[in-house]
Structure 1
Amino acid sequence: MAQRGGPAVLPDNPFQDPATLQPRPGPESAVLDAYNPFESGAPPPPYQAPSAAPPPLPVAGGPPPQPPRKASPTEPRNYGSYGTQVPGRGGGRGAAVGWAGPEAGAPGPALPSQASAAAATAELLKRQEELNRKAEELDRRERELQNAALGGAATRLNNWPPLPSFCPVKPCFYQDIPVEIPADFQKTVSTMYYLWMASTIALFLNFLSSLAWFCVEPSSGSGFGLSILWALLYTPCSFVCWYRPMYKAFRSDSSFNFFVFFFVFFAQNVMYVLQAIGIPNWGFSGWILSLIALRKNTAVAVMMMMVSLFFTAVAVLGIIMLKKIHSLYRRTGASFQKAQEEFAAGVFSNQAVRTAAANAAAGAATNAFRAP
């Protein structure tokens, strides 16, 4: 026994040290304790490595455990903070424990909420670009209208019909659908413009088919002459009488121009139907005249049937567009009273009309004073 305050006294038999006599847990310690090297020359029992602890069970609902990745010789060791160290790489007791899942800093799979947020952001950007484009278009139209109101219309040259510069006849109208027509009605106005062009092409084809029929049947000279008249008369008159009023009605929301368009275009649709019917000697290569020509010449009859199909398509499209524009007109809040007011304002604002009225009033006053 060691005395209080003095140096420790070692025991006489080192094999009686309690630290060496303390049993070790496990089956390996029992085998080593039973082995006595002084009794026999048997070799010592082989060394058995301690069994590794079983892997932890995966948590329900969590990601499956991943095996640890072997570090390459050239990869630097992770000496970061306590929570970011990977076990087995630092090689010391200070390595973080309880690590599971992918390495720190590695990007994980995108969550559904992130994907939906990215899609919503892309949709917002697309809408923003569309709104910016519409705003630029509105600004351009506003500048155009301001220039026209301030007298800039004098510098705005007419561009329709598109004629070459060397032609002695100059354009008579200014037409720019993307600039002058509101965005909601641009498609309708463009469709009506294409309808006018289709009717013009149909009249030209009608002239060719009437010429072919006149070559086969010399007695149809009156129909051939009328086909020339219709082509020369309807082409400019239809543009001036119903297309331009429709264009100005949508451009300035004019009730008077709407009424002019409805009246003239209704009569034009009646003519489209008559053209498709094809009454003989009326100058139209419609269905009736095509069936008559089928007895004389098959090639001429086929040509006239193609023209009849063209006339029928134009008539159907004309009726559809008339109903569509009428429905648009009713939604704009226009009325016959408003059309009368616009007509009266337009008549009295005309300088020629005012001059004629002033001259008439002056003449009446002079005759009244001269009367006895």
Structure 2
Amino acid sequence: MSKFEDNPFSDPAIDNPFADPAVQQVARSTNNATRGLDDYNPFDGQQNANQPLPAQQPTQPAIMQAVSPPPAGGGQYTRPSQQSQSQAPPPNFTTADFQELKKRQEELERKAEELARREAELRAGSAGRRNNWPPLPAFCPIQPCFYQDINVDIPLEFQRIVRHLYHLWMFHSLVLALNIVGGMALMFSGAGFTVFGLSILYFILLTPFSFICWYRPIYKAFRSDSSFNFMVFFFIFLFQMIITLVQSIGFSGGGSCGLITSIAAFRENVGAGIVTLLVTIGFITSLVADVMLMTKVHRIYRSTGASIAKAQAEFTTEILRNQHVQTAASSAAAAAVNAQIANANRY
């Protein structure tokens, strides 16, 4: 038995695995880690009070965290912590920046309300709108005859050209009013009452007719993309340009303070000549503006794909939809049927 009780590692010829320094270092660390657990007695209150519990690593419950889906174009999933970190305000975010963002948000809300109001007006249709032009006071016995709102009726890309046309009509009206002043100056200088009387007539007739005959058609044309109204505008506006050309020339006795009239006025009275010359410059400016805007409108008209055939089709459709035309046609048909019945009964 003594042969079995001998230490097999006592022989120096045999390598002792526990003599390895790496194994001894691991053994020492394991003893230090488990020493607290070996000496700990859960039933000894005094020992528990004097000796602290062995340190344990903090644990975290296994809770699954939701992740956001990847973007439509592809990408990686992001955790909620990353999302909150990406949505957090920058470190230099101040109160002034917050007030600026709040002001912008309020402005956007006001614009959204305005757009909603305009959309509701558009859906309500023209029947639910109240006429607002000309802008007359409430006590006036004459009420507005038309509804006009460029910001609501006209598409955004055409609002500028429509405003220019409206300002052109106003400028024509202003020049016609100045023509009355020039006719008055000629009358006081001894040229007679003819120019003054005709200038009043031109202002009374041309101002409303120009609004109804060429401005309202072009307003409707841009509002509803109507080829028929474009054709009406081109036809009437051509006469407007011819009338403005004649007025800028100023034939003698024609009722306008044009170039010829202003030259003759300088011979009689310098003051009257200056007034008539200003009116002549106004007529020439109106003519130049007419040509420029006519060219722009025609370019837009050609770009929209409108044509004469389309205008004829729209005209036929509008005629057939017109209530007065339908009433007249039904009355004529009824009269023809009654006449045929009367003739049949007679025979």
Task: Sort the TM-score into its range (normalised by shorter chain).
Answer: 0.5 to 0.7
Partner SS for 1:185: helix
CA–CA separation in structure 2 for the residues paired with 1:173 and 1:225: 30
* TM-score, normalisation: structure 1: 0.61
Of 278, 292, 308, the residue aligned with 1:320 is 292
Paired position in structure 2 for 1:227: 199
> Within 5 A, what are the aligned runs for 1:284-363?
284-363=256-335
> Within 5 A, what are the aligned runs for 1:182-331?
182-218=155-191, 220-331=192-303
1:142 deviates by 3.3
CA contact (8 A) 2:121 2:129 kept: no
* TM-score, normalisation: structure 2: 0.65
1:155 deviates by 3.7
The gaps in structure 2 that reach 5 residues or longer are 1-100
CA–CA separation in structure 1 for the residues paired with 2:195 and 2:179: 10
CA–CA separation in structure 1 for the residues paired with 2:208 and 2:303: 30
Query: Are 1:365 and 2:342 counterparts?
Result: no
CA contact (8 A) 2:248 2:280 kept: yes
Partner SS for 1:294: helix
CA contact (8 A) 2:184 2:196 kept: yes
Partner SS for 2:324: helix
> Within 5 A, what are the aligned runs for 1:63-212?
140-148=117-125, 153-212=126-185
| Distance of aligned partners of 1:322 and 1:215 in 2 relative to their CA distance in 1, 3 Å threshold | same
The gaps in structure 1 that reach 5 residues or longer are 1-124
| Distance of aligned partners of 1:337 and 1:321 in 2 relative to their CA distance in 1, 3 Å threshold | same
Provide Cα deviations, 1:30-54, integer angstroms capped at 9, x if missing partner.
Answer: xxxxxxxxxxxxxxxxxxxxxxxxx
CA–CA separation in structure 2 for the residues paired with 1:359 and 1:159: 35
Partner SS for 1:295: helix
1:217 deviates by 2.1
Structure 1 segments of 4+ aligned residues over 3 angstroms from their partners: 128-142
Partner SS for 2:138: coil
CA–CA separation in structure 1 for the residues paired with 2:297 and 2:110: 27
Larger Rg: 1
1:135 deviates by 7.9
CA contact (8 A) 2:194 2:253 kept: yes
Matched to 1:342, the amino acid is E
Aligned length: 241
| Distance of aligned partners of 1:188 and 1:305 in 2 relative to their CA distance in 1, 3 Å threshold | same
CA contact (8 A) 1:140 1:179 kept: no
Matched to 2:131, the amino acid is N
CA–CA separation in structure 2 for the residues paired with 1:280 and 1:264: 26
1:139 deviates by 5.2
